A and B are shown apart, each in its own frame.
Chain A
Amino acid sequence: MQTEIILAGFGGQGILFAGQLLAYAAMDAGREVTWIPSYGPEMRGGTANCTVIISEEEIGAPTVRNPKAALVFNLPSFDKYEPLVLPGGVLIANASLINRSFQRSDLTTVMLPANEIAEALGDKRMTNMVMLGALLQKLPVLSFAAVEKTLQDHLPSRHKHLLAMNFEALKRGAEFAERGVQTTIPNEQVTFNE
């Protein structure tokens, strides 16, 4: 059994890093894993996506037509991947950049305003962690503790001061996914002691 996850959106949204975080966490948990970007002559603002496959056994193809889960950060990615997720799979969509609702009813879905949740935390760059938190809530492929430990171990040292905020972003995403509503966005910015 293997779990395939596609993360897709614009360049600059932290998609490749979010995928790498999953890959590191899977490796640290002793699983087999592949991370592959859809690389192209692309830059910030262009399309960016990657596929992560997590498995207990040797992984064959690193890309799949129909993933078990998709994390879509914008409308073009939503349009592209909504039809492709396996029936019964998980689709997490970023409501901040998507102006329509789900067309499929055979998936576990979460539509969350990840940009706004991240901005309320004080840093728009947390969007990817908010999305990832929602995914981990709905797709029990890796534990939160494992991902948090990995974040601690692999976040580049220049970003270490953002660790607490990353944890909080994961938590907010998960909470939103769990309750289906936005309950924890404060009116004022949260401050972190780091």
Chain B
Amino acid sequence: MARELLKGNIAMAEASIRAGVEAYFGYPITPQTELLEWMSLRMPELGRAFLQAESEVAAINMVYGAACTGKRVMSSSSSPGVSLMMEGLSYIAGTEVPVVLIDVVRGGPGLGNIAPSQGDYNQIVHGGGHGDYHAIVLAPASVQEAIDLTVLAFDLAEKYRAICIVLADGNVGQMMEPAELPPMLPLDRPVPDWAVQGAQGRERRILSSIYLKPEDEEVTNIRLLERWQTIEANEVRFKEYYLEDAEIAVIGFGSAGRVAYSAVRAARAEGIRVGLLRPITVSPFPSARIAELASQVRAFLVAEMNTGQMLADVQLAVSGRAPVEFYGRLGGVVPFPDEILTEIQRIAYRPMTMNGDPRRSWLKRLKSQME
């Protein structure tokens, strides 16, 4: 298929359709609205279900119900809307049904603003809903990746009967780039053996997240954990740039990773041996690869559009074997490449120590830069 100039939000919507989504439930919110709009146009046209719910709470519970039929179902929203969905997501996790959710993150907390942000990393990667579960989280940095990861999200969700979240941000949602959509998948997948579509002629199946006996819930928790360990073993994905001979490794996901790529290329042009690791799955996190890099590089630089949420995961993987520095912009501000280049230069030309909290020293630098 030919490349088309596509807006991220619309590309993710159409990719979901091509991947065989049969029901979409959502509620409009910027900077994600074009996704829902596209669905409202295309789904009825194809005879599939589109429903604009009265709220995100309703939407996610409709997704929950529809997912129990074994069909490919999804929702999409942006930060405040996703917060409203957390209870439903926990029920979905507890019931072990596959669901895809796209979160086009915006500035927060609270109502915040509609600018691109990565402030919801912790909410999406480390929890959100109550109880002991993990979601698979994919972080696209381009329109093409947004398409490819949306398709992958449906496959992974189904394979592991898990929640798979595409963690995008306002930039990915609003940007237009040439990209290629996949062909339309036929809707002839077999009904999964756990799905409930009416029990006539067979034994009835029950889908629920309620386990009143703690012993039963414990068994469920163990099953979820073992499934997660399989996911950790099989599904870690990341992209590397110029890391072969790197002395400095920059780590950034999504839009921040993309900005970091520009900075890394500029630093390479001045002869600095720096590379970039861009996690594609932020959950499961590429900890093993980062641990490996810790014995190769002199220092790490984590770049994010938040106050250093993924930073903690990198620090855990590095385990004090190399200095980990941090640079972030907050509240919907997207860093320019020159800001990250300055950080790379600082690390390249000044001695690094393991002392101190990288967040504190970054905040000092950021504030002096803002003056």
Contacts and interface: CB of A to CB of B under 8 A. Distances in A.
A162 B171 CA distance: 32
Interface residues of A, number: 21
A149 to B, nearest CB: 14
A142 to B, nearest CB: 14
B262 A36 contact: no
A37 B334 CA distance: 13
B176 interface: yes
A65 B175 contact: no
Contacts of A37: 174
B178 A60 contact: no
B337 A64 contact: yes
A25 B115 CA distance: 28
A62 B258 contact: yes
Nearest to B178: A27
A94 interface: no
A39 B258 CA distance: 19
A111 interface: no
A63 B171 CA distance: 10
B261 interface: yes
**Shortest Cβ-Cβ A-B pairs, 6 listed:** A60-B262, A60-B261, A35-B176, A61-B259, A27-B178, A65-B336
Given A20-B5, A34-B177, 16 more contacts: A27-B3, A33-B178, A35-B177, A36-B174, A39-B30, A58-B261, A60-B259, A60-B260, A60-B262, A61-B258, A61-B262, A61-B334, A61-B337, A62-B258, A64-B336, A65-B336
B336 A23 contact: no
B129 interface: no
A45 interface: no
Interface of B: 3, 5, 30-31, 114-115, 170-171, 174-178, 258-263, 265, 334, 336-338
A39 B32 CA distance: 12
A49 to B, nearest CB: 13
**Best-surrounded residue of B3, B5, B259, B334 (most CB of chain A within 10 A):** B5
B174 A39 contact: yes
A24 interface: yes
A113 B198 CA distance: 70
A27 to B, nearest CB: 4
Interface in A20-42: 20, 23-24, 27, 32-37, 39-41
A32 B261 CA distance: 15
A35 B175 contact: yes
Nearest to B276: A60
Nearest to B141: A60
Interface string A6-28: 00000000000000100110010
A56 to B, nearest CB: 13
A39 B336 CA distance: 17
Nearest to A37: B174
Given A27-B178, A34-B176, A40-B114, A60 B265 contact: yes
A183 B296 CA distance: 65
B177 A63 contact: no
A176 B222 CA distance: 73
Nearest to B256: A61
Nearest to A40: B114
A8 to B, nearest CB: 16
Given A60-B259, A65-B338, A39 B114 contact: yes
B5 A63 contact: no
Nearest to A154: B5
A129 to B, nearest CB: 19
A58 B5 CA distance: 15
Interface in A52-91: 58-65
A62 B5 CA distance: 15
Given A60-B265, A62-B258, A34 B336 contact: no
15 contacts: A23-B176, A24-B5, A27-B5, A33-B5, A34-B177, A35-B177, A36-B171, A36-B174, A40-B114, A40-B115, A58-B261, A60-B258, A60-B260, A62-B171, A65-B336
